[in-house]
Chain A
Amino acid sequence: MKTINLISQMIIPFFILLAVAYGFVKKVRVYDCFVSGAKDALSVVLKIFPYLLAIFIAVKSFQASGAMDFAKGLFSGLFTALNIPIEVIAMAITKPLSGSASLAVFTDIVKTTGPESIASLISAVIMGSAETTFYVLAVYLGAVGIKRTRYLVSVCVLSDLVGIIIAIAVVKFLFSLR
């Protein structure tokens, strides 16, 4: 794990050095070139902004409306029957919607149930193995102005659902071996 940490720390500085040094050798005016590339970011982010706005107000209002508590109630019977801690429900619903909110939910679960509890371990794996799907969709599709998404959203939502089931199953299995 130390090696991976070291590689993670080295990869960006090394890549930037490679880009600039190779450019210099090939007689590219690296500074002017960097600036002209960076300038394009303005128009890209302007394109993304309305999509982000739409996603963020929908997600924030969903969280504020109390619909989350209702969903928790809805799934709690199922989770109890399967012997899965009910704290995981909030994690599973929040993770695809919001990065900062899921980090808060995760921290809260670790704080209240302890860092060795199965609820914390399942939430940790969901945090590491799932992504804030709707943010990625808004940013990636917004950046190039895609409107017709064909079957992409269905595949993403289905994969999120299965991904969470996999995360729960993997932790429950490995936890039972401990």
Chain B
Amino acid sequence: MNAIWFLLIVISVIFSVIDGRLELFTKSLFEGAKSAVEVSLFLLGIVALWLGITKIIEESGLIHRLSDLFRPAVSRLFKDIPQDHPAVTSITLNFLANVFGLGNAATPLGIKAMQDLQSLNKEAETVTFAMMLLIVINTASIQLVPFTVIGILSDFGSKNPAWIVSPTILATVLSAVFAVATLFVFRKFFK
């Protein structure tokens, strides 16, 4: 991340100088700061909502029963998570929210899953393989029907906006498989 952040900033400054866009560059910094605050406030709301709900299912013991239920599916990929650990449930809920395109639930439940996985982490500041797997699957964005995209296509008069559903599923599954496979290959070569 350090290299990428450094490159983005340096490239942006160099291009602003060349293109004479220094004023726009400075303005964009403050715009970025503003949207960070706006997005954080939005996150605060939905994360609070889902942490409240997941607290209830933890307190009632439902989370362990769900973990037992989901375990066969999740444990194939996530081998290091102990039996009936809450992480199994939060990971499954995060995946379900992604598949059904529920973005406002997917991110908070992903954060919850990261917290649950962090409780199994021996080195607090180093990412674990399970966390990487969770993040990689999330960035591959497995989604059955992209409702927003279909909405825009039909707004502009598409006769058959649902045509994109099958290529989207095909592309998203192929790229998710590639991403997960790459992660497992990297694990072999980099310890």
Contact = CB atoms under 8 A, between A and B. Distances in A.
Chain B interface size range: 35 or more
Contact of B52 (A37, A149, A162, A167): A37
A3 B168 CA distance: 18
A140 B182 contact: no
Interface in A84-130: 100, 103, 106-107, 110-111, 114-116, 120-121, 124-125, 127-130
A111 B117 CA distance: 43
A66 B153 CA distance: 28
Nearest to B125: A147
* Residues of B contacting A: mostly: helix
Interface in B116-148: 117-118, 121, 123-127, 131-132, 134-136, 138-141, 143-148
Contact of B126 (A116, A136, A150): A150
Among B48, B123, B161, the most chain A Cβ lie within 10 Å of the Cβ of B48
Interface string B41-56: 0011001110111111
B21 A174 contact: no
A61 B114 CA distance: 29
Contacts of A80: none
B81 interface: no
A12 interface: yes
B28 A121 contact: no
A114 B111 CA distance: 38
B135 A136 contact: yes
Nearest to A138: B1
A144 B56 contact: no
A88 B13 CA distance: 25
